[in-house]
Homo-oligomer: A and B are copies of this chain.
Amino acid sequence: MQFDLPLQTLYAASLLGGAAFALSGFLTGVRKGLDLMGIFILSFLTANGGGVIRDILVGRPVALVHEAEPFLITSGVVLLALTLKLHKLPQLEQRLGFVVSDAVGLAAFGLSGALVGLEVQAQFFGVLALSLLTAAGGGILRDLLVNEVPELLHGGFYGSVALLQGAAIFGLHAAQSLNTATLLAAFCAALALRLIAYRGKWRLPKPAKPAE
């Protein structure tokens, strides 16, 4: 089975999502007092770290080494953000445009991770893990580099979307129903779920900490 067509269809989504991730890295970098190179690196890692982790885990050459595009997109985002002084805007990360773009990235990257998992014939949990790490790996690296506990681990209904999407894609594939239409449906469902969860401030429960 070839995934070329849906992947091309979803290509624009991954570009928009990558730009949102890059912007999130930019804003974190400015907030943490990094210099221009540090900000660029953080921005780039946030946008592309998930894909690098995915490629390393499945043992194929890291796509990034051979593709100029991600570097150009990150550079564009950073230059634009600096020019427009986006870091001066209060609460940019809560604005609708950012939230939607970020959710588009989550859905597009998670989908790409799940498809790579199917390509290497990963088992069910492997597909879920690849979906999660491709979507959220960049954010994990961003938080690790600036010494914060990754938001993914405590912050809301975000990674869960990637896990559910991975499960759906695995199921569709097992039922031999994976095609352009169902892939796009999985993408839209993940996007909608993330936006609903964001709106409703969904959170996963946390067990009570023990008394020390």
Could you write out 5 A-B pairs with CB less than 8 Å apart?
A37-B152, A56-B56, A68-B124, A68-B126, A90-B210
Given known pairs A36-B206, A59-B61, A65-B117, the reply for A145 and B154 (CB within 8 Å) is no
Report yes or no: B147 in contact with A149, Cβ–Cβ below 8 A: yes
A71 at the interface (CB under 8 A from B): yes
Report yes or no: B30 in contact with A209, Cβ–Cβ below 8 A: yes
Instruction: Name the residue of chain B whose CB is nearest to the CB of A75.
Output: B125
Q: Which of B57, B65, B124 contacts A62 (CB 8 A)?
A: B57
**CA–CA, A188 and B55, complex, Å:** 35
Instruction: Name the residue of chain B whose CB is nearest to the CB of A74.
Output: B125
A144 at the interface (CB under 8 A from B): yes
Report yes or no: B209 in contact with A65, Cβ–Cβ below 8 A: no
